[in-house]
Amino acid sequence: MENFIYSIPTKVYFGRGKLQSLGEELTQCGSRGLLVYGGGSIRENGCYQEIVGQCEKHRIALWELSGVTVNPDVQMVEMGAELCKEHGIEFILAAGGGSVLDCGKMIAAAAKSEGTAWELVQYPERIEAVLPIVVVSTIAASGSEMDYTAVISNKSMRQKVACGCKLLLPRVAFLDPTYSMTVGMKATAEGIADIMSHLIEIYFSESRAFLQERLNEGAFRTCIDCGKTLLNAPDDYEARANLMWTACWAMNGFLRWGKPGNWTCHVFAHELGAMYPELSHGQILSVLLPRWLRIVVERGKTGQIVDWAKNVWDIREEKPLQSVEAAVAMLERYFQDLGLPGHLDIELTKQDMRELTRRIVPQVQNAYVALTVGDIERILKESIGKQSVRE
């Protein structure tokens, strides 16, 4: 295990009815806030009404920025920053899924900067100050409520970038699992795939850390069990609660510190998401993960996967390779059982393939397994299934 410094100062209110403490926390941030959210889901599940009621009770003026979409575009960040500067906004309140929370984080940074929002995304070292960030998470997925990363797209440039800056860590996070009960099984499954991908990318590292790996395996098993429960009982509070808490611990650094390393599947997912913004992040990852694991095995890195097969999937074959193949097959089958597609419904042109490969290659050379151009092309081709790469 390598050296590290760990600090997670986000204050978390977890459980039913905890949003009733929102107003009290917001008064510590100011009296003028910008509420950032997506579509109508927070109105349908009652989250919006509770937020507005809390702000009225504590005499907090609230401006709104709605319409944040999956793969939030930098233009939305710019719009939010302009609202903040125009109205003297003192804090950001982001309510929704990971895309909304990420957008809110970057608005908090752009509102305190004279540079463009995209410059801050590309060069996070230029972020010198941010507005206080308070988040209300309504789905178990990205873990953005307890980490300092914001993933933002620039659709005009077909780019998607993960901006990491410790100033982006939310000051307070509210997690009420009941708000995730209105999320359909499709979005729930995509969220589970996102959580699992975080755990896998952390788990497979050149540095070993016994405690982090055993906790990681437990978190992964929690995802498996909760997903199975929610297939039959989508309103099961315990499954929703455990899944939401697992999402946080998959990304808040506790399992990652001491096991550094560049991620691979997320590099693919960000580049594909930039080129095909209609694809959800979780959907892309569910298709990529098994294909990447098979290449890891081919490179001879079977040791950790054998541990993963035994401790996560309870597979104990006599021959290690059999254990590995069985574990990857079980992961693939689990995603299918959740209703996730086995392939991505896109058409790649040869030019797209060249561009994706050009972008991905330099980002995965220091990863757990360095991928060649051929490896990248193979993963992409297998991910689109029977569809051929067009001219």
> Which tens digit of pLDDT belongs to each residue from 262-311?
899 999 999 999 999 888 999 999 999 999 999 999 988 888 899 999 99
Name all contacts of 274-279 with Cβ < 8 Å and 24+ positions apart: 274/71, 274/153, 274/154, 274/155, 274/158, 274/159, 274/160, 275/158, 275/352, 275/355, 275/356, 276/344, 276/346, 277/70, 277/71, 277/153, 277/155, 279/344, 279/346
Q: What is the structure's pLDDT at 387?
A: 62
**Minimal CA–CA distance to 103: which of 140, 144, 61?**
144
In contact, 104 and 117? CB cutoff 8 Å? no
**Minimal CA–CA distance to 38: which of 173, 137, 161?**
137
Place 6 in a pLDDT band, splitting at 50, 70 and 90. confident
| CATH code reported for the domain at 185-383 | 1.20.1090.10
Place 148 in a pLDDT band, splitting at 50, 70 and 90. very high
Q: What is the structure's pLDDT at 7?
A: 84
Q: What is the structure's pLDDT at 321?
A: 81
Query: Where exactly does CATH 1.20.1090.10 map onto the chain?
Result: 185-383
User: Which residues are CB-contacts of 369 (< 8 A; sequence separation ≥ 6)?
Assistant: 264, 295, 296, 299, 301
Q: Say if pTM beats, i.e. exceeds, 0.75.
A: yes
Distances from the Cα of 164 to the Cαs of 105, 126, 134, 135, in angstroms?
Answer: 11, 11, 17, 17
Structure token digits, residue 147: 């980490």
Tokens 């944040």: give the residue. Answer: 68
118-143 per-position pLDDT tens digit: 999 999 999 999 999 999 999 999 99
Neighbour tally for 230: CB within 10 Å: 23
Query: Where exactly does CATH 3.40.50.1970 map onto the chain?
Result: 11-180
201-211 per-position pLDDT tens digit: 999 988 888 99
**E strands along 237-361, which residues?**
none
Q: What is the structure's pLDDT at 389?
A: 65
| CATH code reported for the domain at 11-180 | 3.40.50.1970
What is the side-by-side strand order in the sheet with 91-96?
11-14, 172-175, 133-137, 91-96, 32-36, 61-65
* DSSP single-letter state for residue 124: G
Neighbour tally for 127: CB within 10 Å: 24
Q: What is the structure's pLDDT at 259?
A: 85
152-210 per-position pLDDT tens digit: 999 999 999 999 999 999 999 999 999 999 999 999 999 999 999 999 999 998 888 89
